Amino acid sequence: MKSEPYSFATDFFQRTFKIFKMNKGDLISKVAEDANLTKAQATEAVNCVLANIETTLKNGDKVAMLGFGTFSISERAARTGRNPKTGEAIQIAAKKVIKFKPGKELAASVN
């Protein structure tokens, strides 16, 4: 297993500006620890929550979690853009995008 080289600048930056990352595996581990579940149970719980959010959004509905935030679908209109390499005009297709609006408590907790 190859480890990343130590970088004083990166370490200093992360400690100074409190940059931490959490991926799905980290979330599952934290849920297992905090809820006193096995990793398999926590994995099932996290996957179930995410699948239900996905299904609700696919159906065109909003997912609102009081205090946390709201997931919704928005339509992005077709538009004309530019190829940055050639400057040529290109047509960008319309598409649906997922939006997240944090709730009041979540927004206040990070300030």
Domain coordinates of the chain in residue numbers?
A: 21-109
Superfamily of domain 21-109: IHF-like DNA-binding proteins (4.10.520.10)
Q: What is the mean pLDDT of residues 45-55?
A: 95
Q: Quickly state the pLDDT bin for 37 (edges 50, 70, 90).
A: very high
The CA angle 53-98-42, to the nearest 5 degrees, is 30
Q: Would the pLDDT of 52 be above 70? A: yes
Question: Quick one: what percent of the chain has pLDDT higher than 70?
Answer: 82
Q: What is the pLDDT of residues 56-81, one digit of tens each?
A: 999 999 999 999 999 999 999 999 99
| pTM for the full predicted model | 0.70
Exposed e or buried b per residue across 10-44, where buried means at least 16 C-beta atoms within 10 angstroms of its C-beta: eeeeeeeeeeeeeeeeeebeebbeeeeeeeeebbe
Q: Quickly state the pLDDT bin for 15 (edges 50, 70, 90).
A: low
Two tokens, residue 17: 């500006």
